[in-house]
Amino acid sequence: MDKKQIIENISIYVKDKQSGEGSGHDWWHTKRVLDTAKYLAQEEGADLFIVKLAALLHDIADWKFAGGDDKASSKVATELLTKYGVDKESIDHVCHIVDNVSFKGEVQENKINTIEGKVVQDADRLDALGAVGIARTFAYGGSKGREIYNPEIKFQENMNFEKYKKNQGSSINHFYEKLLLLKELINTRSAKKIAEERHQFILIYLDEFYKEWDAKY
């Protein structure tokens, strides 16, 4: 099976599995990550086949919906890619990206060391910023029964993965626990400018949010 057909088959599988999901981790999130990753790959000279596979499969069994299992997506990816005859080296590369692409709380050394992985990670992080990132934050918070904001509950800093998984703070707290940290974690030159613009949009949004919350006219 040629590479184009493999990508098409996996796209169909992922779209079918993720369509209708309401937490912001749906097919359209994956599609945006795929499109952004393709752009970044072209700018950075990354292997498009690996990038497309990793982008498509990065959330196929997200740990947030798999009982906290941060290897769930790579297990599905291995099975699927093996089925379609992808070589072991490529499977290992894709699974390494899938296992390490997500933000998991504390800012620590990035385990991703290939340009393909950095491109996909940047594309995923860019989708957590800007207007779409804001929308996804509230969609996810609503799916988990979180308050929009509670000024009596302060956001947490430097959480490890276990604390991050169990954190039940408000959606606004999530801006400080993740979104506003992402700009400094972007890997590639091509993604940095986009991240800066989207980061600034979030700051403007938060400023307006607090004005309305406090009824300041």
95-101: long-range contacts at Cβ-Cβ below 8 A with a sequence spacing of 24 or more? 97/50, 97/54, 97/58, 97/121, 98/54, 98/57, 98/58, 98/60, 98/73, 98/74, 99/70, 99/71, 99/73, 99/74, 101/54, 101/58
pTM of the model: 0.90
Find tokens 């990035």 and name the residue.
110
Amino acid found at 99: D
DSSP string, 72-128: HHHHHHHHHHHHTT--HHHHHHHHHHHHH-S--SS-------SHHHHHHHHHHHHTT
**Which domain, by its residues, includes 131?**
3-213
CATH of the domain at 201: 1.10.3210.50
Q: Which of 140, 189, 150, 194 has its CA nearest to residue 173?
A: 150
The span from the CA of 130 to the CA of 40, in Å, is 17
Q: How many domains does the chain have?
A: 1
Residue 68: what pLDDT? 53
pLDDT in tens, the chain (217 residues): 799 999 999 999 999 999 888 888 899 999 999 999 999 999 999 999 999 999 999 988 765 554 556 678 888 899 999 999 999 999 999 999 999 998 865 566 688 999 999 999 999 999 999 999 999 999 999 998 999 999 998 988 776 666 655 667 899 999 999 999 999 999 999 999 999 999 999 999 999 999 999 997 7
DSSP string, 22-36: -SS-SHHHHHHHHHH
The span from the CA of 181 to the CA of 42, in Å, is 26
